[in-house]
Amino acid sequence: MRAVQFSEFSGIDALKLVEVADPAPKPGEVVVKVTAVGLNFFDTLVLRNKYQFTPRLPASPGGEIAGVVEALGDDVTDLTIGQRVMAHVGGNGCRERLAIDAARAIPIPDGVSDDVAAGVSVTYGTAMHGFKDRAKLQPGESVAVLGAAGGAGLAAVEIAKLMGAHVIAVASSEEKIALAMRHGADEGIDYETCDLKTALKERTAPGGLDVLYDCVGGDAAEPSLRALGWKGRYLVIGFASGDIPRLPLNVIMLKGCDVLGVFWTAFVDREPEAHRANTLQVLNWCREGRLAPHIHGTYSLAETKEALRVIQERKASGKVIVRPQE
């Protein structure tokens, strides 16, 4: 079978399209014929060994997949051959077939495409965990999403809106804000053309911002923190800017606010049943038409480099999908 792999940590150019052996399922595993792979910003970091974990080489990018069950390992009784499933796999998704732990496979409901299913695990799963499990978001509260037009940001906009929040999209252009508003944001702020702290305070007066969803870090972090209201919640999601900020502890003290880490991959491993429940909720919202994940573009396996460059250069609006069978 074909796979896109890297054998050194030198970035996107290290990727090669190669032939590798077909996988066989071990006890408790299934082999999935991969039809769609969701790519994420962290894939670009893994390629440079800049992420929280270091994969065993050779490895493939792609932490979330959708596909069809082709083979069952011993003791697997709750899945069937031919069944459509999606899964968070952590990595190695960019290949035609993959053996995975059967417990990670979640059936895809009728009416949800493989492209959508492959693209909701990480971004929508993170948003669900952040808002539901960490921030305890309540209807009527205000939410600001930094980097609102990217894959993670759009997911956060949609989930927050479904949970009843007033959503403020923060992005770097009017075009990106317009995209976020088409996906449910109530208003937007172009942080390139205004003082972010002042703009957030004006839109959330008199109480201040309730919840900040920060996928970006960098220079936007401190002014956003200063816009939080009393007992606000700052959700630390990631650092797409490449700069990990240092927050002033005195501001956190004076506001009585919480800074909450949202490390979704650890949540999946430590609380698998809660993760599964969140994922099923997202899939049901997709089936009902209440969620409409935006696909930036689809690429063949041979075009994986191009797909990842779109993400690395911050040109993606929504999810980037690789289709290994094309």
pLDDT at 193 over 90: no
CATH number, residue 253: 3.40.50.720
Residue 25: cis peptide before it, omega within 30 degrees of 0: no
Q: What is the pLDDT of residue 6?
A: 97
Residue 182 lies in a domain: yes
Q: How many domains does the chain have?
A: 2
Whether residues 95 and 174 share a domain: the answer is no
Query: How many whole angstroms separate alpha carbon 159 and alpha carbon 183?
Result: 10
What average pLDDT does the structure give for the chain?
Answer: 94
130/233 same-domain check: yes
pTM of the shown model: 0.87
Helix (H), strand (E) at residue 166: strand 166-171
- Is 16 in the same domain as 99? yes
The pLDDT, as a whole number, for residue 51 is 84
Q: pLDDT value at position 292? A: 83
Read off the pLDDT band of 290 (50, 70, 90): very high
Strands (E), the chain: 2-5, 16-19, 29-39, 64-72, 84-88, 97-101, 106-107, 142-146, 166-171, 187-190, 209-214, 228-236, 258-261, 295-300, 319-323
**Can you give the length of the chain in residues?**
326
Q: Within this chain, do residues 155 and 256 fall inside the same structural domain, yes or no?
A: yes
Q: Is residue 114 assigned to a domain?
A: no
If asked whether residues 80 and 44 sit together in one domain, one would say yes
DSSP assignment, residue 134?
I
Residue with tokens 């994940």: 293
Alpha-helical (H) ranges within 215-325 are 221-226, 249-255, 264-270, 272-287, 304-312
Query: Would the pLDDT of 208 be above 90?
Result: yes
**Rounded CA separation 133/262 (Å):** 9
Q: Looking at residues 237-249, what average pLDDT do you find? A: 87
State whether 97 and 222 are in the same domain.
no
Identify whether 270 is part of a domain.
no
Residues 102 and 131 in one domain: no
pLDDT in tens, 24-57: 999 999 999 999 999 988 899 999 998 878 999 9
Q: What confidence tens digit (pLDDT) does each residue in 92-129 have?
A: 999 999 999 999 999 999 999 999 999 998 899 999 99
What CATH number has the domain bearing residue 316? 3.90.180.10
100 lies in the same domain as 36: yes
pLDDT at residue 317 tops 80: no
Mean pLDDT of 161-189: 94
Q: How far apart are CA 286 and CA 274, in angstroms?
A: 19
Q: What is the model's pLDDT at position 239?
A: 87
Q: Is 200 among the domain residues? A: yes
Counting residues of the chain whose pLDDT is more than 70, the rounded percentage is 100
In the structure encoding, which two tokens stand for residue 48, read together? 């440079």
Other Cβ atoms closer than 10 A to 90: 19
**Has residue 294 got a pLDDT over 90?**
no
Q: Nearest Cα to 58, choosing from 27, 30, 95?
A: 95
279 part of a folded domain: no
115 falls within a domain: no
Domain limits for position 208: 123-265
Task: Give the mean pLDDT of 229-242.
Answer: 91
Token pair for 242: 């490449």
Of 247, 265, 283, which residue sits at a domain end? 265
Query: Could you tell me what percent of the chain has a pLDDT over 90?
Result: 82
